[in-house]
Structure 1
């Protein structure tokens, strides 16, 4: 399924100078709940059991790209950590002690990656809805990281990833439009109870289900 070409990334990676503190923040998008590893695993497992050939191809293509993003984020973390020194900061020391100066399958808080981050229920409509939300969540985290980044080269890299999250969200939305009436969308809103909105707030709000 895969061919690996060393250092052949989708976007050039560089940093002006090491920044271990930001590297620890970027770990969130390597192995966190909304990170690249979770996205790649989610789309690939969905694609492997998808019966729609066109959408199966889409899921596997995007899943493969997410694994490339994962590798890029991992390499960016390595660049931001920099060379090991005897006068390491707390962030540098953590990377050196636990990962030998490189990334690990942990998030920014040090929690290990979990397969519970992967959403795949086997329903084409439900999975595509979940994927759209996943791309938006990833975009939100990358935008927060962008605002924290001080290195223009790192900001450029984050802008690239933000743009790719938007592209994936649009592709999944287009795919969802093509499966209307399938999966959980079949006979959707077909009873009177499906059309009722229970206003349980006091005072009452103006929102109504149409």
Structure 2
């Protein structure tokens, strides 16, 4: 771009951060971060969100959190990036704390059902089924099919047939035409027989 006489802008940097994250090039991403400061001066939420995601995807949650805290005008994407980054890097407690902060303090308007579903998925995948069930019971709305499928996926990972049956019943009640849940339960039963 520079050789051809074009100046990078707010649309350029998210692309290069994504590319650097995909090839695990931390040094290159840090250079792009410095370049964003140099070229843009201060940058908006679009570039800021890509920086948060870049560091989180690389596993550098300290720099991701620093970028998140410095970002003005956080939006749903900002919160998604820090919650998912925390969850994917083994910081489930922090992910829950971010979700609670969104729900109860400064940012209640950006909280969406997808955030709650992400937490159910994270808890069930990590085998914390008691917390996942309690989380589902305390939702401020009736959980949809995606919540129960998230729970069912965690049950498959940890061979939790009892809770898988509950999730399958809920899925069947919400969508009798959905064929995925009986097959998943059947596969889990076969695995238990093989392992047993």
TM-score in terms of structure 2 length: 0.23
Larger RCO of the pair (alpha carbons < 8 Å, separation 6+): 1
